[in-house]
Amino acid sequence: MLTATRVAVRRGARLAVQDIDLRLHAGELFGVLGPNGAGKSSLLGALSAELPTAAGVVSLHGRALVDWPARERARHLAVLPQSSTLNFAFRVDEVVALGRLPHDSGREADARIVTEALEAADAAHLRARNYLELSGGERQRVHLARVLAQLWPGGEGQVLLLDEPTSMLDPAHQHRVLQVLREVAGRGAAVLVILHDLNLAARYCDRLLLLAEGCNRASGTPREVLRADLLRSVFDLEVLVQRHPEHDHPLIIAR
């Protein structure tokens, strides 16, 4: 699937990411955590070939990511950035249909996929709306539907990268998004998501990477990474880490 080997990313004179090794597996939801400025978005930029690497290599299916033709790569890898610069008065279903551009699946199949992706993102009721008239959270769900449509329904060999897809959403939709990503992973895709909510990461992610100052501070299962001592050193935050009373994952409580 997608691998990064000794990857570094430079932003100006500063190394935003350095010496990162990472391997995404089919059927896995992989979370990336860290404080503001830790290098999370820079890492995602390297993993999607949006940013050049200063060192190391990113590979998809054993082939350097930069060597993939853009259209072919887009059929295997989709990216949801932290924010969108779309400023055209498209209908919502037209925005989601942009995700089908790399494919030659035909108008009928594309229309069905757009409908199913909108339903998955809980945005079907928005399909005829003007995109520019939507709230920030509604726009975020529309763009989630767009990247879902790009890889729909998601399967082995495909990779989905998302940068803070829950940032503008209410609690119910935050959980809905992570549930959808778990379903996509369950169909065999590899999914990487950048999150700030430690409890969402604990509940839904199979493995985590904790970044600080561009470096890997810890990686492993949520139980291995979400430890009080590590969270104190990385976030400067005193927490209690307990077992969730209903689910077997860590529960993080700020002290």
Q: Over the stretch 109-157, which tens digit does the pLDDT of each residue have?
A: 999 999 999 999 999 999 999 999 999 999 999 999 999 999 999 999 9
The CB density around residue 199, as the number of other CB atoms within 10 Å, is 16
**What is the per-residue pLDDT across 41-94, written as a single tens digit (0 to 9) for each?**
999 999 999 999 999 999 999 999 999 999 999 999 999 998 888 889 999 999
pTM: 0.96
- From CA 163, how far away is CA 56, in angstroms rounded? 22
CA-wise closest residue to 28 among 196, 175, 182, 165: 182
Q: What CATH number was assigned to the domain covering residues 2-254?
A: 3.40.50.300
Position 132 scores a pLDDT of: 96
CA-wise closest residue to 182 among 22, 10, 1, 29: 29
| Residue owning tokens 């604990």 | 202
Average pLDDT score over the chain: 96
